[in-house]
A and B are shown apart, each in its own frame.
Chain A
Amino acid sequence: MHFVDWAIVLAYIAWLVSDGVKRTKLERTTESYFLANRSMPWWAVGLSVMATQLSAITLVGTTGQGFNDGLRFVQFYYGLPLAMIILAITLVPFFYRAKVYTAYEYLERRFDLKTRVFTSFLFLLSRGMSVGAVVAAPAVVLSVILGWNVTATALAICAPAVVYTILGGVQAVTWTDVKTMGLTVVALIIAMVFLVWGLPGGVGVGDALTIAGRTGRLRAFDFHFSLTETYTFWSGMIGGLFLMLSYFGCDQSQVQRYLTAKSIDDGRTSLLMSAYWKIPLQVLVLMVGIFTFLFYLFHQPPLLFNRVYDEKLRSGPAATQYAQLEQEYGSTFLVRRQAAIDIASARKAHDVAREASATDAFRQQDASLRAIRSRAGRLVTDTTGDATYNDVNYIFPTFITTALPIGIVGLWIAAIITAATDTIAAELNSLATATIIDFYKRLLRRDSPDEHYLRVSKIATAFWGLFACVVAVYASSLGSLIEVVNRFGSFFYGSILGVFMLAILTRRATGNGAFIGLLTGMAAVAAVAFSRPDISFLWHNVIGAFVVFVVGMTISLFDPSGRSAPARP
C-alpha cells in the first residue's frame, strides 16, 4: 500500500480516537456514559443503529455475494421495515416509559430477577464471543490482501475501539458511527463511479446491466417457499422479520443505541431510518458487487482471489496443474469477454438474433469459467487441506487494492477497518452496560455512589475490550469454539424475543411461565438445529419465539403464584 494510503488510514483512525477522547469531559455520570443523558438527536441515533449492523464483513462479504449471486441476498432484509414498525409501536414505548438502561432490566420489572439475569447472561455470552469474531474475520482478509501480520491487523482494528469506548462512552460510539456511515456511503459511491468508468468503450451501463441480468444477477425475488433456503422472499419476509425483531428489539447492542434518543418519538424515528434506508443501502452494496463482476468481465481477474493460496499453489506440488488451469482460464476469459462485447454491440444494433446467439455463447463460457474456478478450489483443498475454501471475501478487496487509484485505496481500507471498529465499540459499550447494570449494580453493590459505578463501568469496558482482542488474536485456533458459541447464540435469539412477546402482549404471563418457556424454546430450537441441520437459521427465530410464547402462556395459566403484572410499566 502506498504511503499516502497509509497516511489516510492512520489520520482517520487518529481522528476517531481523538474525537472520542474529547468527549471524556462529558461523561460525569453512568447515565451520560451509557445513555448520553438520553439527549442524542434522532438522526445520529438512526445512523448509529445502521452502522452497528453494518460490519466490515458486510463491506467485503456482501460485495462478494453480489459478485457471485447478484441481488438474491437482499431478500434477507425484506422483513426489516415491518419489524421496525412493530418495534416502534410495541417495545420502544415500553423501554422509554420504564426508563431502563438495558432491555433485560425491563424483564425484572415485568417478570422477575431470574428472567432478567438469565437473558442478560445469554447476551453477554453470545456477544462476548461474537465481538472477537467481528474483529477476526476482517483481520484475516486484510492480512491476506495487504500482506500484513494478522495479529497486528486484529489489534489495529480492536485497539482504537477500546480506547474511545472506555474514554468517551456511548457518545463517542454514536458520533463515530455517524462518521463511519458517511465514509462508507461515500466510499461505495466512489467505487461505483470507478467501476462504471472501467467498462470498455461501446459497453454502456444499460448493456452492462443486460449482461448482469442474463446471468441471473438482477433477480431480487424467489417466491419459492422453502425452510432450507435462506435467501427467498418468504424466508426474508417471515424468518427475517423475526430475526430483525430479535436483533433490534432484544439485543442490548441495538437497544442501547435508541435508548440514547431524547424521547419516544426520537427513538421511533431513529429506528425508522433503517426501515427507509436499509434495503437501498444493501442494494447499493450488492450493486457494487455486481459491477465488480462486470468490471472483471473485461479486465482479467486472478484465478484465485486469495493471494496466499495462489502463492501456495504456484510453489506447491500442484504447480503444473495450476499453471494449466490458469492458461485455460485465460483463454476462456477472452472468449467470454468477446461474447459480452458482442451482446452490447448487438443490443445497439437492435439485432435480436445476434444478441440471442451472443448471450448463449456468453452463458456457455461463463459456466466454463465457473467450472475452472471450482477446479482451482478443489486444488486448494487437495494442496492445503482447507476443505471449506471460499474466496468470496477476497473479491472486492482485490478490486480495491489493484484497480483503485492511490488515495481511494486508503479511503476504502479506512472504511473497512472503521466499519469493524464501530461494530466492536457498540458491542463493548453494551456488554459493559449489561455487566454493570444487570449484574454488578443489581447483585453485588446496590448502593454505591454514582462515581463508583462510572469507574467500574470503564473497567468493565476495558475488560471486554481486552477479551475481544484476545479472542480475535487467537480466533484461528478458537475457530470451532467460536462456531459453537455462535450456533448456541442462534438457539436463544428467537426465544428471548418470545419472552418479550409474553411481557408486552399479555397481562396473564408470569415470571415462571416466561422462564420455563425460555428454556423450552431454546431446547426446541436446539432439537431442530441438530435433527434438521438443513433448515435455515432464519426459521430458528420463528420456532423459538412461537414455542416460548405457547409454553409460557400455558404454564402461566396453571402457575399457582398467579402473579401477573400490568402490561404497561
Chain B
Amino acid sequence: MSEPLESTRNWTVTYVAVIASEILWLLLLWWLGHQFGT
C-alpha cells in the first residue's frame, strides 16, 4: 500500500494548538514562580 506524498489534512489548527499549549505551559510555570517564589 503506498501512502500519499502530499498532506491530506489541514494543519493550521494543529500548529495553533501547539503554540497555545506552549503558552499554557509557560503561564503555568509563571504562576508557579509567582505563587511560591515571592
Residues of A within 8 A of B (CB): 38, 71, 74, 78, 81-82, 84-85, 88-89, 93, 96-97, 206, 209-210, 212-214, 216, 218-221, 262-266, 268, 272, 275-276, 279-280, 283
Q: In the complex, which residues of chain A have a beta carbon less than 8 angstroms from the beta carbon of B14? A: 272
Q: How far is the CB of A76 from chain B (nearest CB, A)?
A: 13
The CA-CA distance from A71 to B9 in the complex, in Å, is: 37
Q: What is the 8 Å Cβ interface bit string for chain B, positions 4-38, against chain A (1 contact, 0 not)?
A: 11111101001100110110011001101101111
Kindly list chain A residues whose C-beta atoms are within 8 Å of the C-beta of B21.
81, 275-276
B35 CB to nearest chain A CB (Å)? 8
- Contact among B7, B9, B25, B26 with A93 in the assembled complex (CB-CB below 8 Å): B7
Question: How many Å from the CB of A321 to the closest CB on chain B?
Answer: 37
Interface of A: prevailing SS: helix
Give the contacting residue for B33; candidates A85, A219, A262; CB below 8 A: A219
Q: How far is the CB of A137 from chain B (nearest CB, A)?
A: 28
Q: What 6 pairs across the A-B complex have the smallest Cβ distances?
A: A213-B36, A213-B37, A220-B29, A263-B3, A209-B36, A81-B22
Q: Are B33 and A220 in contact, CB atoms less than 8 angstroms apart?
A: yes
Chain B residues whose CB sits within 8 angstroms of the CB of A280 once the complex forms: 25
Task: Select which of B8, B22, B37 is within 8 A of A219 by beta carbon.
Answer: B37
Closest Cβ–Cβ distance, residue A564 to chain B (whole Å)? 23
Q: Are A96's CB and B33's CB within 8 A?
A: no
Contact (Cβ within 8 A) B11 A88: yes
Q: Which residue in chain A gives the minimum CB-CB distance to B18?
A: A275
* Complex Cα–Cα for A216 and B29 (A): 13
Q: Write the chain B residue with the least CB distance to A275.
A: B18
* A268, B9: Cα distance in complex, Å: 11
Q: Taking A218-B33, A220-B32, A221-B30 as contacts, is the C-beta distance between A272 and B18 under 8 angstroms?
A: yes
Chain A residues closer than 8 Å to B5, beta-carbon distance: 96-97, 264
Jot down 19 A-B pairs with beta carbons below 8 A, ordered by A.
A71-B29, A74-B29, A78-B22, A82-B19, A88-B15, A89-B11, A93-B6, A96-B5, A209-B32, A210-B36, A214-B37, A216-B37, A218-B33, A221-B26, A221-B33, A264-B4, A265-B9, A272-B18, A276-B21
